Structure 1
Amino acid sequence: MVDVALGLQEEVTSMKWSLQELEKYRESPLKLQETLDLTAVLKARDHTISDVSPVKVQGLITLDQALIIAHLDVQVTLTLPSTRSLVPVALPLAFSVDEIYTRQLTDLDEHTTAETVIYLEQDVLDLDQVLTDNILLQIPSKILTPAEAANEQEMPHGNDWQVISEADYQAQQAAKANQVDPRFAKLKGLLKSDDDQN
């Protein structure tokens, strides 16, 4: 909900509509500009998330025959631990969600080849669930602090162990491949002397 006169945007608790409610938007699309609090839901689904900013959603929901088409632009900042040092990292996410929903499984042939059509089991379109799923899918497997990403920070290490970058590991493996084992170096010398004698 938007208060245009004051320029304030209040936080919405839910983005759910019955299909009957959506019918009034058959002629013109439902325009969305909402701010949601999905903190509890996201933290419950991913325990590594320590904080979630309000989720800003802009988009359209249009009805086309038996189809409900949603286009959403989403912005949120998650606080997650660094995958290297476990230091909290603010991870801003901005992405789009384009999905098609239906309550009827007939006459979908034209859409099933190019796009996935999601069947609604109930007569409710729940965008909270859609947003939660898509936010969790956007979390990368590697999260680093700015210093870690710039390689300015020393890698974690301890007695007889250290974390090394993938590039350092590959360089070590290449050096090992070129290095000859001293035990076999003596054998190589024996083979040369045998060839010289023959």
Structure 2
Amino acid sequence: MSNEDCLKSLIESIRKLDYINPDDIPNIDLYMDQVTTFMDEHLKSSKRYSEDKLLTKTMINNYTKNELLPPPNKKKYSKEHILLLIFIYYFKNILTISDIQHIFNPLTEKYYGKGADIGLEAIYKEVFSYEKDQMDNLLKDVIRKFNKSRETFSNIESEEEKEFLNTFSFICMLSFDVYVKKQMIEKLIDESILDKKKMKKKD
């Protein structure tokens, strides 16, 4: 595969990624099987392998057990449950269960349920309204990193070896980007925990 074809393939795979539009989520409560089917259908573009399971009954039960997800009402899950599961789906790839708990506890305490001033659906819509801009910026950054990686190891004569090292460089650049952002997220969570402890001491 040529450099151009490789880059084109990467861009196409990124463009296929999409988020679930809240209007596509049923306004009626769903049973567990319906929830897993819904998530699988709407997030299938993010699967690495076709046989991958995005969400299982065991996962949902564990999220409830770990207080990431409020318990279902008579074995049925609301639209708000689905919204939380979508957030969990994205967070769980980079954060620990403990970190997600620290993010979710105030979120569910303040905004889950009908009595909230602003609901989870409004929060979800606000956050994902920037999805297109973020995707455009991400694509530009990926292209820049890809082109930069092609410039590495220019002194290597073997084309096969050079291709391998170029690809390795590209993976390293992307990985370092993820690493730095993960560190930033963890720092924000840690500071949030510290602020909560300070507030409790004042009370």
- Which range, TM-score by smaller chain? under 0.3
TM-score (norm 2): 0.25
Between Structure 1 and Structure 2, whose CA radius of gyration is higher? 1
TM-score (norm 1): 0.26
Higher relative contact order (CA 8 A, sep 6+): 2
Higher strand share: 1
